[in-house]
Chains A and B, each alone.
Chain A
Amino acid sequence: MIYSLTFLIILANYGSVFCYEGSIDEELLIKPLQSNQVYAHFQFSTKWDIDPEKETFRHSSLFPRPIGELIQRFDIQELHVTLTGGLWRYEKWGYPVVDAATGAEVLAWFKPGSDVDTNWKLLANSLSGLFCASLNFIDDLNTIKPEFSFRPRGVVDSKFINSSHVRYANLPHEIVCTENLTPWKKLLPCDSKTGLASLLNSGHIHNTRYHSVGLHLRPVCRDKSCESLSLELQQTVSLVYDYLILGTKNWSLRKLFGQGVNRKCVLVNKSDIYVDTTLTDVELEPAPDKTVTSIRGGQTTVLQKYEVTNTFLNIYAKYQNADVVPLNLPPPLHANQYLSGYGQERGGIVTKIYNNHWKELDVVLLQNIPWFIPIYLHTLKVVSNGKELKPLQLRYIPARQRIRPNYLEVLLRLPARTSTSVVIDFDYVFLKWQEYPPDANFGFHIGSAVISCYLPVAKNYTAVPWDMTLISDSFNASRNGYLVEIRTENLIITLPTPDFSMPYNVICLACTVVALAFGPLHNITTRKLILKSNKKVQLVEKIKKLLNSLSKTKEE
C-alpha cells in the first residue's frame, strides 16, 4: 500500500514535470491605411517555458510538434519564414508589423557548432513539405550569409553572433496560395475552428492586394530577470484589403473575412482585436470594450480594443464622412528598385532610397543577385541629390556560375531629406538552352533588396519591439530606435534566348564548318600534287572497261 502510494506521488511529480508551461495569445490589428486600403494583421504567439538547449521536443501540447522537431533536428536558433503575395507599398501604407519580401523568404540562425550548410538544405526541404511551398528550391544558388543586415531577434550569446551561422534566401517567383495557408493553420492549437483563426478563410484572403503568411521562431527571456529562456513562436498573417475590391469603405469583419468570430478558442490566454482609429473618423459597432491611446516614438495612436468572448462578434465600421481622404505622409524611409538600360546586353540595377527624415540615417542595403546577372562592382555608384556618396562599409562576394549568387551589402549614411540611388551595372548572360524555363521569354526574377535601418522616430510604425511579444506590448513602448527592414520590388529580367528549335541544326552546321577546314587541310598534308590527264572518260567506255575487267577475272 505504502509502495503504491509512493509510486503515485512519484507519478504526480513526473506529471508536474511534463505539465505544459506556456501560453498562447492571439491578436488582430485592423488599421485603415492612409490610402484606400485597410490592413489586418493576425498574430498568434505561442510561448513555451522550456530551455531550448535542453529540451528534446518529444512532447508538446500547445506548441506545434513539427516545429519542435525542426528545432531539434537542424539545430535552429531562430527561424523566420514568410510567404507573400503582392507588394507592401511603404510609401503609401507606412510600415507593416512584419516586413516580408514578395515570394518566399527564409532566414535562419543556427546554433554554433552545427553543420550549418547541411542543416540549411535539410531545413529548406522540411519547410517545403511543411508548408507545401517550393522552398526546396533553396540551395547554394540563392543562399547568402548577410553580415550586417540581420541580427538575431531573440536572446543569444553575443559572442556567437556571426554571419557564418546565418542563412538567408528568397524565392521571388514563389506564388503563395491556399495550399500554403491550410498547413499553416494546422499548426495552431484550435486549428481554424474557433478564435481569431476562424477568420482566416482562404476565399477571402487571396483576393487581397497583399497577403503574407509568416512564421517566426526565437528564444526569449522567460521573465524580466532573464535567468531562463522560453521559446516563442509567432504565426502571423498580414492582409491588405482594397476598398475598391470590397466595394465600400465601410468594412466589417464579415465583409473582410466572410464571417465574424464565433467564440474564443479555449486554449488561448488572450484573444483581442484592436482597431486603429487615429486617422479616421469612424463609428464602430458594437462599441469597443476599451479605448487605448499609445504614445510611442513621437506618434500618438488611438486604438479600440475588443475582447473575444464566447459570444458571436462582428465589428462593423462606418465612416462618418466617406469623402474625407487623409493626407498621405510618406514614412521616414522607403525605397524602390528598378532596372535601367535597354536591350539585352547591358543593364543596371537601381535602388532608390528616400530619406524623408530631417536627420541623416544609417542604412544597410542588402542585395542577393542571382548568378546569371554578373555585376561589376567598380560600376557601383551611390548618388545622393547629385552628390556622390562613399559607402561606409562594403561586403561583396562575387557570383560563381551555377554555384552561388552575388552577395552585396552596402552600409550608407543617407543625408537628411534626400533620395539616394545606388546603381550597379550588370551584363546579360547567355545560358545553355536547357537552363531556360519552359516560358523562357517570361524572364527571370531578381529578388528584392533589403534595406535595414534603425529609425529614430516611430512614424507610421507598427512593429512589436524586439524585447516584447504581443501587439499590446507595443503600446507606449518608446525605444531608442525602431528597426525597419524594407523590402523593395522584385525585378524581372528577360535574358536573350537562343532558338530552342534547332539544336540539331546548329550542331550540324558548326561541325560542317569544322569539316570544311579538315577536308582541305587533310588533303594538303597527306596527298601529293600531281599532273593528271584532263581527258574525260565517257560513261560507255567506263562500263566497257568494268565489264572487261570482270570477264577477265572470270576467265582466270
Chain B
Amino acid sequence: MKLAPLDITSNIDNTITKYTNVKSTKILRTLQLFIKMSVKIRAAYTNSISTSRIIFTCLAAVIVRYYLMLSKYQTVIANHVEVSTPLNSWKRVSEGLYLISKNINPYEGDVLHETPLSLYLYKNILLVFQDRIHLAFITFDVATAIILFFTTKKFNWDLFVEEENNKETFAKDAVECFLKPEKLFKSSYYVLLTYLFNPFTLFSCVGYSTTVFYNFYLAVMMFCMVHGISVICGIFLALAASVSFYPVVLILPVTMYFKYAIKSNFKIIINLFSFITTSVLIMLMCTDFGKDFSYIRNVYGCILTVPDLQPNIGLFWYFFTEMFEHFRELFIYAFQINNTILYLVPISLRFRKHPFLLTVAINFIITIFKSYPSVGDVGFVLSVVPSFPHLFPFSQQGFLVGTMLIISTSLAPILYYLWIYCNSANANFYFGVTLSFAVAQIFLLTDLLFSQVKRDYMLKYGKNRKIDGEEGILCLE
C-alpha cells in the first residue's frame, strides 16, 4: 500500500523524461515537481493520523486530567515546588483575586507575581467556569496540544516541501537522510501525544499552574508564526512576554522565520508593529493608563532580581541563597544575560535557515535558565522535540538525556520530602537533582542543534567520510 504512490512517482518521472527527451525546460521541471508533490500529498494523507484518532487521544487526555483533578492527589501535585513556583501558583492567584475583592492592592504585598491583565483574565475565566475551574485548565491545556499539533504539522509539511525543492543541491549519496514522509507526517501526532501525556505538562495542568495559559500563548504564537499570520503572532508574543518577560527575545527568531521561511519583509514589519502595539496596550492596561506602576516591581522585579528563593527545578534559587551579598548583583546580571541575549544572536545567525528549530532552541534556553521555571515550561519544549524526527538519527545523547531526565524527575520530590519534611537530607540533595535536570536539558538542546549541523553537512557533502583513503572524523573547528 505504502509503496504504490512512490512507484507512481518514478513512473511519471520516466514518462516525463521519455516524452520530452530534450533539455528539460523550466516549465517542465515545475510541472514535474507539481505532479511529484501531488502524489506525495496523497502519500502524506494516507499516512497521517485520522481525525477520530486525534479526538480519541484528546478525550483520553481530558479524562486522565479530570480524574486526577478530582482525586485527592490534586493538592499534593499543586503543592509541589516543581509544579507551582511563586510565579505561577494558583494559590497566589486566588490570594490576589481575594485581595482585590477586599479592596486591597494585591501588589502591595509579595504574594502575587501575575500581571493585572492575567488577573483580569483569570477573574473572567472564573466567572465563566464558576466552581469548575479545573475545566478551564483542561480546556486550555488540550487547546494548546491541538494548536501544537497543527503547528508542527504545518512545519513538517513546509520542511518537506522545501527539501523537495532543493533536492538537486544535495549530495548524491545523502538519499538515506532525506525526509521520510511517512515518518515525518506522523511526528505531529507524537507532538500531540507528548504534550498531552508527558508527566510534566500533565502535572502542570493538574496542579493548576498558570503556566498552562503561558504555554497556550506560546503555542498560538508558534501556530501563527508557521502559518504566517503575523498580526496575531505579534499579539500573542506580546502576551507571553507580558507574563514572563523572557519571551521578548523570541521576537528575533520569529523575525527570522518570516524572513527565511515565509520570505516576506512586509510580514516582519506587521509582526513587529503588532508586537510593539500590543505590548504598549498591555502596559497601559496594566498600569491603569499610567496611574499605578506597582505591578512592575512585583512581576518583572521578581523575575529579574529573584527575591523569592523558594526551591524550583531551575538554577537560580540555591545559587542566590548561597551567594555573597556583594556579588549578588553581578551574578544576577550574568545569569539574566546568559538566558536572554548571550546566545540569541549567535544561534540566530547560525540557524537562520532553520527558523523553527531556532525558535524552539531559544525557548528551550529560556526554559533551562529562567529564574522560576516549572515543569510546565519543560513539558512544553519537550513536546515540540518529536517534530524533528529527521534529526534523531544524528543525535548521540538520547539515552543519556532520557536516563537523566527520568532519574532526576523521580528523585526530586523524594529528596525534597526528605529535606523539608523528614529533616534527614539537606538542601544540597535537591540542588544536586536540579543540577542534573538542567544538565539533561542542556545536553538535549545541544544534541538537537548539533544534529542539525551534522545533517546539513551530510546533505551537502554526502555520507562519504573518507579522507586520503582513510576513515576521517567529523569535528567542529
- Residues of chain A having any CB pair with chain B under 8 Å: 342-346, 371, 374, 376-378, 394, 396-402, 406, 427, 429-434, 496-499, 502-503, 506-507, 509-510, 513-514, 516-518, 520-535
Contact = CB atoms under 8 A, between A and B. Distances in A.
Contact of B471 (A377, A507, A529, A534): A534
Contact of A394 (B102, B350, B468): B102
Nearest to A519: B446
B401 to A, nearest CB: 13
Interface stretch (B45-53, B211-219, B285-293, B449-457): B449-457
B388 interface: no
Contacts of B81: 345
B475 A529 contact: yes
A525 B453 CA distance: 10
Contact of A396 (B102, B453, B456): B102
Contact of B324 (A503, A517, A525): A503
B110 A399 contact: yes
The 3 closest A-B pairs by CB, nearest first: A398-B109, A378-B98, A525-B346
A406 B94 CA distance: 18
A408 to B, nearest CB: 11
Interface string B409-450: 000000000011100001110010001001100100110011
B467 A532 contact: yes
Interface string B361-374: 00001001100000
SS class, residues of chain B in contact with chain A: helix
A506 B467 contact: no
B343 interface: yes
B325 A530 contact: no
| Chain B contact patch, size range | 35 or more
A499 B426 contact: yes
B317 interface: yes
A430 B307 contact: no
A435 B309 CA distance: 12
Nearest to A531: B472
B41 interface: no
A341 B159 CA distance: 55
Contacts of B457: 529
16 contacts: A346-B79, A394-B102, A397-B104, A397-B109, A398-B110, A431-B321, A433-B322, A497-B427, A499-B427, A520-B442, A521-B346, A527-B477, A529-B475, A533-B468, A533-B472, A534-B471
Contacts of B427: 496-499
Contact of A401 (B99, B307, B315, B365): B307
B442 A343 contact: no
A401 B306 CA distance: 12
B171 to A, nearest CB: 13
Contact of B442 (A344, A374, A497, A517): A517
Contacts of A398: 99, 104, 108-111
Interface in B90-112: 91, 94-95, 97-99, 102, 104, 108-111
B260 to A, nearest CB: 17
Contacts of B474: 529-532
Given A377-B102, A502-B428, A529-B475, A507 B453 contact: no
Given A506-B431, A517-B445, A532 B473 contact: yes
Given A507-B322, A531-B472, 8 more contacts: A399-B109, A499-B427, A506-B319, A513-B435, A516-B439, A525-B347, A527-B477, A534-B467
A80 B47 CA distance: 83
Interface in B297-355: 307-311, 315, 317-325, 331, 335, 338, 342-343, 346-347, 349-350
